[in-house]
Structure 1
Amino acid sequence: MIELRGLTKHYGQTVAVQDLSFTVHPGQVTGFLGPNGAGKSTTMRMILGLDRPTGGTALIDGKPYHELTHPLRTVGALLDAKWVHPNRSARAHLQWLAASNDLAMSRVEEVLRLVGLSEVAGKPAGGFSLGMSQRLGLAGALLGDPHVLLFDEPVNGLDPEGILWIRRFMQRLAAEGRTVLVSSHLLSEMALTAEHLVVIGRGQLISDSTTQEFVERASESSVRVRSPQLDQLRSLLTSNGMTVREDGAGQDGPALVVAATTSDAVGKLAGANDITLFELAPQRASLEEAFMRMTGGAVQYHGEGADLVMGGAL
């Protein structure tokens, strides 16, 4: 388990993380989201003891990272897939990590097989593609068979096959009861990967909830409806105070989207007036739409002539 309590980091006058508190529980993938400059990487570096907090604590199983005797046996991390000596082979890199934490050398071959790098284990890591480098980073994170794992942008730059592989890999790790925290700017991928979301902006907590709760809280409830009596239905809905707009994007013909209501309300009204419905479907915003609504005020830099907001998190 990862616990943050009042975690704070200042760089001079710049506030990178401010009074941040949340807990990452085992058994599920927790997505760590925020606009660019929100403080995600700084937070992960403090969890791993790479940056010293200005205030507050970051604990792994109740201890700060520097108090872990053999840290690779407790926590594994992938922060930079290219953090490997380019002339060192994948096997040699993992053997060096294993020796630093008194791990059995047999474990090196196990993780190489686990991530699918056995056939290239003797080749210099500097010649690896980004996907292969990500797999090597995952192998290093898993070397000590830790039950806490942190991944920073693990699918960045990967092709669809690589993204699918890593998604399933992280979900399998969580299903084994491990604590998995993963940051990503690919929101569509996080919608498929993470059961829980921690969202920050300008170094402060915005949301800590399940993925479904986050989307529902940020979304306006609406209903999409199709009918052979569309004009009559439109008049009926508007006369009952409902806001209606056209939706002709569907393959099955034109439809109406009724804002701020439920499918039950629309269905009862149509039924009471003998209007046939071909479709009656509640609409939910995508994670991207919910994210933009929840974090719009926490974006550090705005394009298209908008004001440049200074003093945000790094």
Structure 2
Amino acid sequence: MIEARGLTKVYGSKKAVDDLSFTVSPGIVTGFLGPNGAGKSTTMRMILGLDRPTSGQALVNGQPYTAAKVPLREVGALLDAKDVHGGRTARAHLTVLALSNGLPKRRVDEVLELTGLTGVAKKRIRGFSLGMSQRLGIAAAMLGDPDVLMFDEPVNGLDPEGILWIRNFMRSLAAGGRTVFVSSHLMSEMALTADHLIVIGRGKLLADMGTKDFIAQNSATTVRVRSPQADQLARALAERGTQTRQVDGYLELSGVATDQVGDLAASRGITIHELFQQRSSLEEAFMELTRDSVEYHAEVPTAASGSVPGGAA
């Protein structure tokens, strides 16, 4: 279990993390979300004792991580996949970590196999792709077979097969009763992986709830219907006070249930080809909640506004 209690970190005049409190429980995958500059990396570094809080504290299994006698047996962490000695081989890198933490050398072969790196164990790390470096970082995190895992952007640089592997891997770790805390900007992947979300913006806690509840509370639900008699259906709905709009070949409406639309269509003899409820994605819900917490905003170029910056003249 990970606990943050009033965590605050100030750099000069900037408050990077502001009185942040939350608990990361075992048995589920907890996603850690926030815009760039929200304080996610700083928070993770404070949990691991790499940064000292200005105030508050972070606990891992009831004590500061710095008090752990064998750190890799307590927490496995991947914060920066490229922050390794490039001149070492993958096996040498893992062997140094194992020996310095009193871990048996057999764990090196076990985690190399676990992450699919056995075939490149003797290759120097400087020649690794980003995806291979991510796998090596995960191998290092698993060396001590810890109960708590922390991953910062673990799917960065992975191909589709690798993304599927890490998704299933994290979920299997949680299913085994471990604490899994993962930060990512890839919302589509978090929607498939995380059971619970902790969302921060400008260093403050914005949400701490289940993924499904988060989407439900921060997005609108609409109904979409496709009919060869769309105009007739739209007029019938308008008579009931329900406004519609055309979206991708569908009539989209809100404030009404699918069964109400179906009953109305049936009563008017209107044919329905498709009728379903449409809920916003995690990305849309996240964007809605963090709209006021984004540090930098940029306009999306359009055809009417001229060429895309950096494009051909």
Structure 2 length-normalised TM: 0.92
The aligned counterpart of 1:165 is: 165
Q: Which residue of 1 aligns with 2:135?
A: 135
Farther-moved stretch of structure 1 (178-187 vs 259-268): 259-268
**What pairs with 1:265-276 in structure 2 (closer than 5 Å)?**
265-276=260-271
The alignment yields a C-alpha RMSD, in angstroms, of 1.5
Q: Match for residue 279 of structure 2?
A: 284
Once residues 63 and 267 of structure 2 are traced to their aligned partners in structure 1, the CA distance between those partners, rounded to angstroms, is 62
Q: For the residues of structure 2 that align with 1:261 and 1:42, how far apart are their CA atoms?
A: 44
Give me the whole-angstrom Cα distance separating, in 1, the residues matched to 2:24 and 2:36. 21
Q: Is the 8 A contact 2:152 2:182 kept in 1?
A: yes
Question: Structure 2 CA distance, aligned partners of 1:260 and 1:13?
Answer: 46
Q: CA deviation at 1:271?
A: 3.8
C-alpha separation in 1, matches of 2:294 and 2:206: 12
Tell me, which stretches of 5 or more residues in structure 1 are unaligned? 306-314
Partners of 2:218 and 2:179 in 1: how far apart?
26
- Contact persistence 2:9–2:15 (CA under 8 A): yes
How many residue pairs align between the two structures?
A: 300
Residues 141-170 of structure 1 show CA distances to partners (whole Å, capped at 9, x for unaligned) of 000000100000111232222222222221
* Partner of residue 299 from structure 2, selected from 280, 301, 304: 304
Q: Does 1:29 align with 2:29?
A: yes
Secondary structure in structure 1 of the residue aligned to 2:82: coil
1:49 aligns with 2:49: yes
| Residue in 1 that maps onto 2:114 | 114
Moved more, 153-162 or 105-114: 153-162
CA contact (8 A) 1:221 1:261 kept: no
Q: In structure 1, what is the equivalent of residue 14 of structure 2?
A: 14
**SS at 2:185's partner residue?**
coil
One-letter code of the match for 1:298?
S
Instruction: Give yes or no for contact 1:81–1:133 (8 Å, CA) kept in 2.
Output: yes
Q: Which of structures 1 and 2 has the larger relative contact order (alpha carbons within 8 angstroms, sep 6+)? A: 1
In the alignment, what sits opposite 1:310?
Answer: none
Partners of 2:49 and 2:263 lie apart in 1 by 58
Structure 2: runs of 5+ lacking an equivalent: 301-313
Q: CA contact under 8 A between 1:115 and 1:139: conserved in structure 2?
A: yes
1:210 aligns to 2:210 (yes or no): yes
Cα distance in 2 between the residues matched to 1:215 and 1:35: 17
Q: What is the DSSP-based 3-state SS (H/G/I as helix, E as strand, rest coil) of the residue aligned with 2:38?
A: coil
Instruction: Name the CA distance, whole Å, in 1 between partners of 2:53 and 2:12.
Output: 13
CA distance in 2, matches of 1:129, 1:222: 43
* Identity within the alignment, %: 64
What SS does the corresponding residue of 1:119 show, helix, strand or coil?
Answer: helix
Partner of 1:195: 195
CA–CA distance in structure 2, aligned partners of residues 127 and 279 of structure 1: 52
C-alpha separation in 1, matches of 2:4 and 2:265: 51
- Once the 2 structures are TM-superposed, how far is the Cα of residue 178 of structure 1 from its aligned partner? 1.0
Deviation at 1:263, TM superposition (A): 1.5
Displacement of 1:228 after TM fit? 3.4
In the TM superposition, residue 66 of structure 1 has moved relative to its aligned partner by 0.9
Helix, strand or coil: the match of 2:126?
A: helix
Amino acid at match of 1:11: Y
Write the distance in 2 (CA, Å) between the matches of 1:243 and 1:67: 61
Distance between the aligned counterparts of 2:250 and 2:108, measured in 1?
A: 58
TM-score when scaled to structure 1?
A: 0.91
Give the conservation status (yes or no) of the 8 Å contact 2:225–2:251: yes
Superimposed CA distance per residue, residues 40-86 of structure 1 (whole angstroms, 9 cap, x where no aligned partner) = 00000001000011111111111111111111101100001112111
In structure 2, give the amino acid aligned to 1:269. Answer: L
1:167-226 Cα shifts (integer Å, max 9, x gaps): 222122122211111111111111122121111100111111111111111111210112
Offset of residue 304 of structure 1:
3.0
In structure 2, give the amino acid aligned to 1:200.
Answer: I
Structure 1 position 96 matched with structure 2 position 100: no
Amino acid aligned to 1:88: R
Deviations 1:269-295 (A, max 9, x none): 334444342222000111111111110
Describe the shift of the 1:223–1:176 C-alpha distance in structure 2 as closer, same or farther (beyond 3 A).
Answer: same
Contact 1:82–1:133 under 8 Å retained in 2: yes
CA distance in 2, matches of 1:119, 1:229: 61
Q: Distance in 1 between matches of 2:283 and 2:58?
A: 29
Deviations 1:4-36 (A, max 9, x none): 111111111101000111111112211111001
